[in-house]
Amino acid sequence: MLLWAGAAALAQADEPPTYAVLVQNGRITPATLEVPAGTRLRLAVRNAGTGPCEFENLALRVEKVLAPGAASTLVLHPLRAGSYRFVDEFHPDAAGLTLQAR
């Protein structure tokens, strides 16, 4: 029993930090998100819009289509320091998300 409790605590310690992202009719908030470089991370994406959205960054090979009201999580591999732009492909002219890995 002690071994199982220790393994569960260790698994929780390995959980990546989670950042909330909201997509609403093409607009993604927050507009900028600072995350630690070299660390796995999780994006909890929710579509609060009236139509579908396609949250994506092609360079990172991340793409998620969400129906109105749907939510999903994406786990990203450790990122190098830099800037990564995410958009709603269904609304390419709307404001996106810039992920700053530092």
The CATH class for the domain spanning 16-101 reads mainly beta
Phi first, then psi: what are they for 6, rounded to 5°? -65, -40
Q: How many CA atoms lie within 13 A of 27 on its CB side?
A: 6
Neighbours of 11 (CB within 10 A): 9
- CA–chain centroid gap for 35, Å, is 11
| 2-56 residue pLDDT tens | 555 555 555 556 899 999 999 999 999 999 999 999 999 999 999 999 999 999 9
Residues 6+ apart with CB under 8 A from 6: none
Q: Is 31 helix (H, G, I), strand (E, B) or coil?
A: coil
| 75-101 residue pLDDT tens | 999 999 999 999 999 998 888 999 999
